[in-house]
Structure 1
Amino acid sequence: MPSRELTIGMIFLSQTTLGILGNFSLLYHYLFLYFTGCKLRSTDLILRHLTVANTLVILSKGIPQTIVAFGWKGFLNDFGCKLVFYVHRVGRGVSIGSTCLLNVFQAITISPRNARWTKLKVKFAKYIGPSNILCWILHMLVNMIVPIHVTGNRSNKTITKIKDFGYCSVLRDKTTGLLHSALFSFLDVVCLGLMSWTSGSMVFILHRHKKQVQHIHRNNLFPRSFPESRATKTILVLVSTFVSFYTLSSIFQACVTLFNNPSWWLISISPLFVACFPTVSPFVLLSSDSSVSRLCCVSTGKKTQ
């Protein structure tokens, strides 16, 4: 096995293992809180959907790429390829939508406490569950076109217009690829726009709040930030991490789509950036005082039988 393939294989294996451990640890944490009767905040429902979506992205992208990097190609049949690509696209879309929903909800949560915003907070909290379900359904429907153009390497011997990803191939030319990219990018651009706007709003609100309470902190020997501020800072870190990795992965994926014969390095490195956010995000949440670790101290006791 060439040293470059071994290196990429070890990187994929490390990233996939780390991502699976992180997301499963976060899922276990939420299940533990649920079955022990702890009271979860509204944002935690979004985070659970985000964790499931990130897990699907890692499993559908990291595991096949790891196997290919270690030299085992053509291990998926036609149905397996269609399923893997479809699950990846749905998981990636829900991950983007959940991150956007989380950002919007937190921006509404820390908004000025007047009657109009209070009513909006109550209404928005009621629709978090349906919004998550709608996000899954929307991306499942939009991405139904993906399996049509995906085939296993075993069944494409006589087809010339393909892009070989090692374990599967995509049957489409440049024009079709551009149309699909434009279709899939539309929802992503909308979500990124909402995230940018709400993130800017949160930064402004936090800055104004800091100025308002500066004199209190000066007179307090043990200053502590408000829970909303800590939660907002965590989500801003999460969103900035997402935007950074999403931008890089989008650039690499666009290159793979536009080039007729993308290089081995380009095809190999692109999935690394796709799986970066799903790998890093659970550790950002687990290490944060504002989102996950503080949930343990808010409990309603055992559930009634």
Structure 2
Amino acid sequence: MEFKFTVKVILLLLQVSIGVPANAFVLMIYAYAAYGEKDLKPIDKIMCHLVFANLLRLLPKGPPEIMHNLGLNNILDDAGCKSINYITRTARGVSICVTSLLSIYQAITLAPPTTRWQFLKSRSQKDIIPHIVGFWLFNMVLYISFAKQLFAVKNGTRPRFTYDLGFCYSKFIEPPFYYINMLLIIGHDVFFVGLMLLSSVYILYVLKRHREQVKYLHSARQNSKAMAERTAATNVIKLVSLYVFFYGVDTGFMVYTSGLSSVSSLLSEVRVFLSSCYAVLSPFLIISFNMKMYRKFRYPHKEKQMKSTDMNACHLKI
């Protein structure tokens, strides 16, 4: 095996072996919390779908990519090729949308309780799931045309007028339809990244103004409340920054290569690898944001003991 393919297999193995268990672990934590609390907070619901989309971003495509680079060909038929790439692309699109929704929701939460914002605050609590379902449906429809152009590698021969996608090929699309399709996908990415950035800038503005307002207040209540708001907003900004870096590079490469007649395989592989890094690293950030939930999952008996102690204390007071 050539050195290039050896490095690629090692990196893919690292992504799958680290990213898949990490995302599955976070999903398990949220499932345990949902079972125990019966109802998750809106921000936790957003995180669940983000982690699930990241899992779909890594799991279906990782093993076939690794097998293909190890020299195993004809591992998928046309249906398998279309399905895996369609699921991966849809998950990527949902990940963008849900990350954007997360930043917008945090911005609305931090907004001052004026009449103008109060309506959005009340609506944001109710419309989280409809928006997320809409994101899934929208991205599923968006990438149907992409999936139709794919077919599996057969007998190790590459047909003419195709793009090499590893274990699959993609047919060339006529220029008008190709540019319309690329405009939709790139426009989708730019729009939701723009919403992320605007929301993050507003969050920073609100935090700065709030810090100035409480600067001369020495009340522990005021300081603890400000610290909690600042921590929650900082966590969201970290997640958005991680997304903007990796997917921003991915979108930049996509824009650059869309005008080229031929694209080097190394450039395409670097783009795909970087875009997958967000799905690998984001669960570790989410775990660090939810240490209280993690402790509840790891030490369930202590949680029950604390609840029973609190109940006994209440009865004694009565």
How many matched pairs? 299
Encode CA deviations 1:260-302: one digit per residue, 9 max, x unaligned: 4432322322221121111111111101258955987999x89
Encode CA deviations 1:122-172: one digit per residue, 9 max, x unaligned: 112101011111111111112111121111111895731001122000101
Deviates more, 1:147-156 or 1:120-129: 147-156
1:198 aligns with 2:192: no
Distance 1:294 1:103, change over 3 A: farther
CA distance in 2, matches of 1:253, 1:68: 23
1:186 aligns with 2:187: yes
Which residue of the partner structure matches residue 72 of structure 1? 72
Which residue of the partner structure matches residue 149 of structure 2? 149
Larger Rg belongs to: 2
SS of residue in 1 equivalent to 2:60: helix
Encode CA deviations 1:233-260: one digit per residue, 9 max, x unaligned: 1000000110110111123334554444
Identity of aligned residues (%): 28
| AA at the equivalent of 2:272 | P
Deviates more, 1:289-298 or 1:117-126: 289-298
| AA at the equivalent of 1:236 | I
Normalised by the size of structure 1, how large is the TM-score? Answer: 0.88
Distance 1:278 1:158, change over 3 A: closer
Cα pair 1:23 1:54 within 8 Å, conserved:
yes
Which residue of the partner structure matches residue 275 of structure 2? 274
1:95-110 mapped onto 2 (5 Å cutoff): 95-110=95-110
CA distance in 2, matches of 1:177, 1:291: 48
CA distance in 1, matches of 2:148, 2:127: 34
1:99-178 mapped onto 2 (5 Å cutoff): 99-154=99-154, 157=157, 159-173=159-173, 175=175, 176-178=177-179
1:1-305 mapped onto 2 (5 Å cutoff): 1-37=1-37, 40-154=40-154, 157=157, 159-173=159-173, 175=175, 176-216=177-217, 224=224, 225-289=226-290, 293=294
Encode CA deviations 1:209-233: one digit per residue, 9 max, x unaligned: 111112235x76x964432221111
Q: What is the aligned-residue RMSD (CA, Å)?
A: 2.8
CA distance in 2, matches of 1:253, 1:230: 34
Q: CA deviation at 1:181?
A: 1.4
CA distance in 2, matches of 1:42, 1:173: 41
Greater RCO structure (CA 8 Å; 6+ sep): 1
SS of residue in 2 equivalent to 1:169: strand
Encode CA deviations 1:111-130: one digit per residue, 9 max, x unaligned: 01223322321112101011
SS of residue in 1 equivalent to 2:169: strand
SS of residue in 2 equivalent to 1:215: coil
Normalised by the size of structure 2, how large is the TM-score? Answer: 0.85
Distance 1:25 1:289, change over 3 A: closer
SS of residue in 1 equivalent to 2:199: helix
Runs of 4 or more, structure 1, over 6 Å off, are 294-299
| AA at the equivalent of 2:11 | I
CA distance in 2, matches of 1:155, 1:179: 33
